[in-house]
Amino acid sequence: MTPAEPKTPFYITTAITYPNGEPHIGHAYEYISADAMARFKRLDGFDVFFLTGTDEHGLKIAQTAQKAGITPKEFVDRQAVVYREVHALVGTSFDRLIRTTDEDHYAAAQDLWKRMEANGDIYLSKYEGWYSVRDEAFYPEDDTVVRDGVRYSKETDTELTWTAEESYFFRLSAYQDRLLAYYESHPEFGAPGYRFNEVISFVKRGLEDLSISRTSFDWGVPVPGSDSHVMYVWVDALTNYLTGVGYPDTESEAFRKYWPADVHIIGKDISRFHAVYWPAFLMSAGLELPKRVMIHGFLQNNGVKMSKSLGNVVAPRDMIGQYGLDTMRYFLLREVPYGADGSYSHEAIVGRMNADLANNLGNLAQRSLSMVAKNLGGVVPEPGELADADSAILDAAAGLLGSVRAAFEKQEFSRALEAVWGVLGDTNAYFAEQQPWVLRKTDPARMATVLYVTLEVVRRVALLVQPVMPESAARLLDALGQPEGEARLFTALTAPIAPGAQLPAPAPIFPRYEEPVAP
Ligand code: ME8
């Protein structure tokens, strides 16, 4: 026996969430999209490491804890549980849920600091500038505006405070040319293009050195050799991607296997940190750069920004309770082209749930499976000679892996689902034209072939939608008699459903949304 080929590693991360507030659907969106990507790669034969977690240091967390009357550590311990529950709720199949208060993370952040320092990129000076606690970021005066005596960031509209203190600086200004050269030679690094172009313009305008330590509070990773300073929260936060795979032990199996990351999944408000500061830190430290930074858009409620003051922040738990997890996962990935901003509304979710899931996929599965149950004793039939219509539909289904894979490669989730639903639409049309319920009397052998072809398309679709709707796809594969394990990997796409297999009694999997009737 020849040993199995080692699997190709694939390392994917989400942003680590600030756990100061309550989780909202925007966070769930990020977890779900990264999760779909991770599941896709696992099913496609990759050795996946999926990292997500919480970003627990910084002034914002310290202030929130103070308001709650507890220590920052007590506060983040409490909130880490809340976020762990959200991950369980949305089905995040992470390999590690990192917390920046984890012990190994301190060692990693300090090691990265020392490498940058050894490279001559860190110096001590004094900082004076406008700081946003909400964004944990400084803004140049030109990028600020005063309203009613309060200064705000033009970009994020968050309140700014004048901050003056001794600070360590990172020589970011020295990296402008190297960053631009890197972007030029790695066109896949930042995506989508319309978002990454903003990053490029920012770098082209010239980079200032970056303040990377604070002395006015102590809730952070201590700067090595300098007791009065803690690291700027973003230096510590970005390092989580290294800690997650064994850094600072660069010889560890995990690090050698998984670094550099294949993709960082992040939202549009933090592209600068990931596509400018982070690669510059890594260049300075002599470490490889991530292969891709994928920038998703923001979700809005009915076209309106979610905010506490408007009272339109929806908790993932409520939405999932109302529509079901897989409906939400499907909706979020299908409705909004990944990268663009998007909106959710009751009508839009119900529309997708009823049209795409219940009518299109659900009906096709339920009608074909019930006909097999009623007319063939629930046994997968032997197909006869294939007619052109049969081959055409099977070929279309066989072509899906290629198109879905190409779309996932670029995190174009909506395009992948569109391709699958295109074939489902054609299969529904095929089913309606072939009229197997008529063939039952006129030509039972032909009915058997039509049902076989339909089951086989449904099986391929079920395999391919597993990353997006893991629970429903699993139930569909159960209904098709597909055992767990190899029969559910993408390699099984080319091994058609076996005639003669006994199927369990079918039960509907994709319910229609019915508006609750007022009492
Ligand atoms: O920025 N729609 O944390 P965070 C979609 N700790 N995505 C949204 C969103 C919305 N309405 N609101 C937020 C941080 N996000 C840092 C990250 S990484 C080393 C440190 C996204 O809790 C946001 O863009 O403010 C980010 O990717 C993630 O949620 C966490 O945001």
Q: For 437-480, how does the pLDDT look when each residue is reduced to its tens digit (9 = 90+)?
A: 999 999 999 999 999 999 999 999 999 999 999 999 999 999 99
- For residue 268, which atom of ligand 1 is closest to its CA? 24
Residue 409 beta carbon below 6 angstroms from any ligand 1 atom: no
Residue 331 C-alpha from the chain's centroid: 14
Residue 10 beta carbon below 6 angstroms from any ligand 1 atom: no
Residue 28 beta carbon below 6 angstroms from any ligand 1 atom: no
- For residue 14, which atom of ligand 1 is closest to its CA? 27
CA of 330 to the centre of ligand 1 (A): 21
Q: What is the pLDDT of residue 314?
A: 84
Pocket test for ligand 1, best of 31, 35, 55 (most atoms within 8 A of CB): 55
Query: What are the residues whose beta carbons fall under 8 Å from the beta carbon of 4, sequence distance 6 or more?
Result: none
- For residue 15, which atom of ligand 1 is closest to its CA? 18
Tell me if ipTM is over 0.90: yes
What is the residue-wise DSSP string for 324-363?
-HHHHHHHHHHHS-BTB-EEE-HHHHHHHIIIIIIIIIIH
- The C-alpha atoms of residue 399 and residue 199 are separated, in whole angstroms, by 36
Residue 18 beta carbon below 6 angstroms from any ligand 1 atom: yes
CA of 17 to the centre of ligand 1 (A): 6
Q: Count CB-CB contacts under 10 A for residue 295.
A: 25
pLDDT digits (tens), the chain, 519 positions: 566 788 999 999 999 999 999 999 999 999 999 999 999 999 999 999 999 999 999 999 999 999 999 999 999 999 999 999 999 999 999 999 999 999 999 999 999 999 999 999 999 999 888 999 888 888 989 999 999 999 999 999 999 999 888 999 999 999 999 999 999 999 999 999 999 999 999 999 999 999 999 998 899 999 999 989 999 999 999 999 999 999 999 999 999 999 999 999 999 999 999 999 999 999 999 999 999 999 999 999 888 887 767 777 889 999 999 999 999 999 999 999 999 999 999 999 999 999 999 999 999 999 999 999 999 999 999 999 999 999 999 999 999 999 999 999 999 999 999 999 999 999 999 999 999 999 999 999 999 999 999 999 999 999 999 999 999 999 999 999 999 999 999 999 999 999 999 999 999 999 999 988 877
- For residue 27, which atom of ligand 1 is closest to its CA? 29
473 token code pair: 């796809």
Which amino acid is residue 97, in one-letter code? L
CA of 267 to the centre of ligand 1 (A): 6
Residue nearest ligand 1's atom 30 by CA? 17
Q: What is the pLDDT of residue 517?
A: 81
DSSP state of 122: E
Residue 261 beta carbon below 6 angstroms from any ligand 1 atom: no
Residue 298 beta carbon below 6 angstroms from any ligand 1 atom: yes
Contact 219, 84 (CB under 8 A): no
Per DSSP bridges, beta strands 213-214 and 9-17 are unpaired
138 token code pair: 């400084």
DSSP state of 504: P
DSSP state of 178: H
- For residue 18, which atom of ligand 1 is closest to its CA? 22
Which amino acid is residue 281, in one-letter code? F
Residue nearest ligand 1's atom 12 by CA? 26
CA of 15 to the centre of ligand 1 (A): 6
- The C-alpha atoms of residue 344 and residue 300 are separated, in whole angstroms, by 6
Residue 22 beta carbon below 6 angstroms from any ligand 1 atom: no
Whether the CA torsion 418, 420, 426, 428 is positive or negative: it is: negative
- The C-alpha atoms of residue 56 and residue 79 are separated, in whole angstroms, by 9
Residue 269 beta carbon below 6 angstroms from any ligand 1 atom: yes
Residue 108 beta carbon below 6 angstroms from any ligand 1 atom: no
Q: What is the pLDDT of residues 193-234, one digit of tens each?
A: 999 999 999 999 999 999 999 998 899 999 999 989 999 999
Angle, alpha carbons 401-378-376 (nearest 5°): 110
